[in-house]
Amino acid sequence: MTLLRQAGTGLRVLLVATVLLGIGYPLAVWGVSRVPGLHDHAEGSPLVVDGRVVGSELIGVDPVPANPARDPFFHTRPSASAAGNLGPGDPATSGGSNRSADNAEQLAAVQERRAAVAAREDVAPAAVPADAVTASASGVDPGISPAYAALQAPRVARTTGLPLPQVQRLIAESTSGGVVAERTVAVPALNAAVAAAHSG
């Protein structure tokens, strides 16, 4: 009789826990995600252009221009999973290189990236900011520094035909942070805004 009573108690605890934790808790979390102001964040912060989702504001994948000589894109930080030192990485295997700052391979990669970015932007290597040549921990960081965005602005303006002040205004509109948080420029949103302005 004691064994049956214990089995019955265990079964009731299992059923209550299943209802509370398997149904009630997920429904509560889903309900909170529907609260105004949280909905878009709960859905992965989709980047919507002309009524269709074109990406996520939280995932920065370095764009590949169809014609590298006429590159109309703002570029994100490099990815450690990229096939070369620049270019898109594989978001499915995002992560850092885990190399130390004095690692010979890391130093060589940084120098190669600095030379490549300087050539792409037609500036001296010393003008290239640190975030343009160092990979983020995730490899899909959507944000870059205002300095890196400003470095790319003349090329984007020249390639798209947009006036440089308009491109600079789009950069400012895509910049967040400030007093407490570091100021960053959201590259996915910025590229979408540049594309919209260019097509318009």
Tens of pLDDT along 104-121?
Answer: 888 888 899 999 999 999
**Local confidence band at 91 (pLDDT 50, 70, 90 cut-offs):** low
Q: Do 97 and 25 belong to one domain? A: no
More confident residue, 125 or 31: 125
Q: Do 35 and 49 belong to one domain? A: no
Q: Do 80 and 132 belong to one domain? A: yes
Specify the 3-state DSSP secondary structure of 143: strand
- Per the structure block, which two tokens stand in for 46? 């989709």
- Give the mean model confidence (pLDDT) for residues 122-134: 93
Residue 1 has what pLDDT? 64
Contacts of 62 (CB under 8 A, 6+ apart): 75, 76, 78, 79, 82, 86, 87, 88, 89
Q: What's the mean per-residue pLDDT of the chain?
A: 85
Q: Do 184 and 86 belong to one domain? A: yes
**Local confidence band at 31 (pLDDT 50, 70, 90 cut-offs):** confident
Q: Examine the pLDDT at 50 and tell me if it is beyond 90.
A: no
Q: Examine the pLDDT at 103 and tell me if it is beyond 90.
A: no
Residue 85 has what pLDDT? 67
Q: Examine the pLDDT at 11 and tell me if it is beyond 80.
A: yes
Residue 174 has what pLDDT? 93
Q: Examine the pLDDT at 168 and tell me if it is beyond 80.
A: yes
Enter the pTM of the model: 0.76
**Local confidence band at 160 (pLDDT 50, 70, 90 cut-offs):** very high
* 115: number of Cβ within 10 Å: 14
E strands present in the chain: 46-49, 52-56, 143-144, 175-176, 184-186
- Give the mean model confidence (pLDDT) for residues 128-138: 87
Q: Do 33 and 80 belong to one domain? A: no
| Among 54-68, 121-135, 152-166, 186-200, the least confident range | 54-68
Q: Do 117 and 191 belong to one domain? A: yes
Q: Do 32 and 77 belong to one domain? A: no
Q: Do 55 and 107 belong to one domain? A: yes
Residue 89 has what pLDDT? 67
Q: In which domain, by residue range, is 79 found?
A: 44-199
Residue 94 phi/psi, 5-degree rounding, is: -65, 150
Task: Provide the domain count of the chain.
Answer: 2
Q: Do 36 and 48 belong to one domain? A: no
